[in-house]
Each structure stands twice: as structure tokens, then as C-alpha cells.
Amino acid sequence: MYAAIWRLLPGPWFVRLLIVLIVVAAILYGLFFFVFPWVSPFINPGEVDLE
């Protein structure tokens, strides 16, 4: 599957790598600033004691 995605990207390998890094950074940005804050009220870890 990853090989098929890699073949679909345009340009030489360094352009493909740059595109992949930008897409991964955009996904992480979306997760950290939109998805995780939205989900955090629904996740209740409860009482946590470390002794």
C-alpha cells in the first residue's frame, strides 16, 4: 500500500519525501490542535494514584 502511494506522488524521491513530510506534519497539527482537544472531555482516566 505504501509503495502504491509512493508511486502516485509526483517528482523525484526528494520531492516525494518533502510532500510526505508536509502531509505528516499537517496531520499531526490537525490532531494536536483540533482532534485531541475535542476528544479530551470524553476521556476520563479517573482517579490515578502513584504510590
Query: Considering only CA atoms, which of 46, 26, 30, 47 is closest in space to residue 38?
Result: 30
In a domain, 13, yes or no: yes
Q: Whole-angstrom Cα distance, residue 38 to residue 24?
A: 20
Instruction: Please tell me the distance from the alpha carbon of residue 26 to that of residue 35, in angstroms, as a whole number.
Output: 13
The answer as to whether 51 is a domain residue is no
Q: pLDDT tens digits, residue range 9-34? A: 999 999 999 999 999 999 999 999 99
The answer to the question of residue 27 being in a domain is yes
Number of domains in the chain: 1
pTM, entire model: 0.73
Is 8 within the bounds of a domain? yes
41 secondary structure, DSSP code: G
Is the pLDDT at 48 greater than 80? The verdict is no
The answer to whether residue 46 sits within a structural domain is no
- Residue 47 counted as domain residue: no
Residue ranges making up the domain that contains 18: 2-38
Segment 29-49 shows an average pLDDT of 87
